[in-house]
Amino acid sequence: GVALYPSKTIKDQFAVGLRSEIFHELDAGGPAYGAGTTTLDFTLTGAYETDELRLILECRLDQSSAPQFNAMTTDQLASILIAAVYQF
């Protein structure tokens, strides 16, 4: 697979990023998606950081060349992740 991770700090405590990844299973197949399947995903990330806490919001869209998600019924998956990281 291949991935790109550009990000930009908007203000001292706020940053945004866009990640794009592509995965291709070999024709022999594999444990993740199956033989010859290609999956492309895009993730938009927003992060807010203080001295001790980092809040992260990610919105991700996956697109597969074959149905892989929701019990193999769809080729797209949208997800949202919210994370809080405390550092001491």
Q: For the segment 38-57, what is each residue's pLDDT rounded down to a tens digit?
A: 889 999 999 999 999 999 99
**Is 80 within 8 Å of 58 (Cβ atoms)?**
yes
Alpha-carbon distance values, 19 to 8, 29, 30 (Å): 12, 25, 24
pLDDT at 13: 93
Q: Percentage of the chain with pLDDT > 70?
A: 90
Whether pLDDT at 33 is above 70: no
Structural domain that includes position 14: 2-86
Q: How many domains does the chain have?
A: 1
**Is 56 within 8 Å of 80 (Cβ atoms)?**
no
Q: What single DSSP character describes residue 9?
A: E
pLDDT at 85: 97
pLDDT at 75: 87
Buried b (16+ CB within 10 A) or exposed e, 55-74: ebebebebebeeebbeeeee
**Distance between CA atoms of 45 and 18, rounded to whole angstroms?**
6
Confidence of residue 31 (pLDDT cuts 50, 70, 90): low
